[in-house]
Chains A and B, each alone.
Chain A
Amino acid sequence: MSVGSQGARPVNPPAEHAEGALPRSYLRPCLLLMLAEGPSHGYDLLEQVRRLGLRGAEPSALYRSLRAMEREELVSSSWEMSGAGPPRRTYLLSDAGHRALHSWVGSLRDVQRLLVTMLDRYDNLVEPAATSRL
């Protein structure tokens, strides 16, 4: 049974379903990218990560990722003293972090190629059936 034989082409699933399809460790390349764009703080990183598709990202996951990346020397951090309010931790990308980001992007491009191949095949399967119903 082909997908097209089941009726109309399915509508796009809600955006939150897309989050589940992202690579399990997608948070890490996102953080590397954001820190390559410039030093940042925890809460700012969390907001940016959510804008990159990880809407359900939790502060605890962010904290653990940043600590792990610090241990691996991909990022470094320092306390930023502030006149008003408590000190905040500022994160910076190291040279090793830049290399890790480059490597991640290579892997993600490979995934992108695989996804495009799969989606093209899906479209070829569905579209002729959808067209034949017109």
Chain B
Amino acid sequence: MLRALYWRSEILQLLYWLRGEGLGDLVDAPLLERFLGVDAGTGRNHLDRLADEGYLDRDGQWFALSARGLEEGALEFATAFAELNRPAHGECSADCWCHVSAEEATACAAERQEDDRR
């Protein structure tokens, strides 16, 4: 279970990275092997599992982020963003509600972004 979670995170992060750098939206098992060092057979199993779970869309040997995969990314970006900005947030302290869960951190980050816009 932990292993599956680890690979889900690694593969999704790679897809976000490739996308952010303008290096493409599609991955296959050999690409996974080159970037993550996981052998192609095992990599393919991880890709299939992520497609079955709805994080990736499958087209033959190629896989791309699905709407759900992108949503997962948005959560991660917001959480990372919250982590970076936490010290500057006047109301955010060690016992702030945003530490309770990733979802709360996302909401906290969104609220602070809204504050910044005003």
Contact = CB atoms under 8 A, between A and B. Distances in A.
Contacts of A81: 77, 81
Contact of B34 (A41, A43, A60, A78): A60
Given A60-B34, A60-B35, A87-B16, A42 B21 contact: yes
A88 interface: yes
Contacts of A89: 16-17, 20-21
Main secondary structure of the interface of B (DSSP, over half): helix
A40 to B, nearest CB: 11
B80 A64 contact: no
B80 A78 contact: yes
Contacts of A43: 21-23
A46 B31 CA distance: 17
Interface residues on B, range: 20 to 34
A99 to B, nearest CB: 23
Contacts, number: 48
Contacts of B21: 41-43, 59, 88-89
Interface in A12-51: 41-43
B88 interface: no
A68 to B, nearest CB: 10
Given A58-B34, A60-B35, A86-B16, A78 B23 contact: no
A87 to B, nearest CB: 5
Contacts of B16: 79, 86-87, 89
Q: Considering residues B17, B36, B37, which has the most beta carbons from chain A within 10 angstroms of its beta carbon?
A: B17
A79 B35 contact: no
Contacts of B84: 78
Contacts of A63: 14, 17, 35
Interface string B9-27: 0000010111111110000
Contacts of B34: 58, 60
Given A41-B21, A59-B35, 12 more contacts: A42-B17, A42-B21, A43-B21, A59-B23, A64-B35, A78-B80, A79-B80, A81-B77, A81-B81, A87-B20, A89-B16, A89-B20
Interface of A: 41-43, 58-60, 63-64, 78-79, 81, 85-89
